[in-house]
Amino acid sequence: MVCPSLAASSIRRIAINLTTAEFSDERVAEALTAFKNEQGGPDELTIEATDVPDTLTMRQITAIYRAGGVRVDIDDVGSDNSFEVVRDLLPYVDGVKFAM
């Protein structure tokens, strides 16, 4: 089911912030990947992890998103998520966002 707001808009890029629990849930990853790839879905979908999970979870979940063409970023690096915490996760993500 296409989001009514998306269907009525010319905006084709979406970014969604997820909590650690949401991000770590395979059902959420599969549902968002399906949303991205359905007819009328967004051209680009970025998932932003606001708090990062452990390395194993990050690797498993980002594999689902990447297979579905969904970008994964870590949000608030340098403030809520210190570089020391995210350093080992960088191979599994597409980008980082910094708080100014």
Tokens found for residue 98: 């910094």
Where residue 3 falls among pLDDT bands split at 50, 70, 90? low
At residue 58's C-alpha, the angle toward residues 73 and 32, to 5°, is 65
pLDDT, tens digit (0-9, with 9 covering 90-100), for 33-90: 999 999 889 999 999 998 899 999 999 999 999 999 999 999 878 777 778 888 999 9
Strand order in the sheet with 44-49: 13-18, 44-49, 71-77, 95-98
Name the amino acid, one letter, at 61: I
Which pTM does this prediction carry?
A: 0.86
pLDDT, tens digit (0-9, with 9 covering 90-100), for 60-73: 999 999 999 999 99
Domains of the chain, residue spans: 12-98
Helix (H, G, I), strand (E, B) or coil at 96: strand
Average pLDDT, the chain: 89
CATH code linked to domain 12-98:
3.30.750.24
For 93, phi then psi, to 5°, come to: -120, 165
Structure confidence at residue 6 (pLDDT): 62
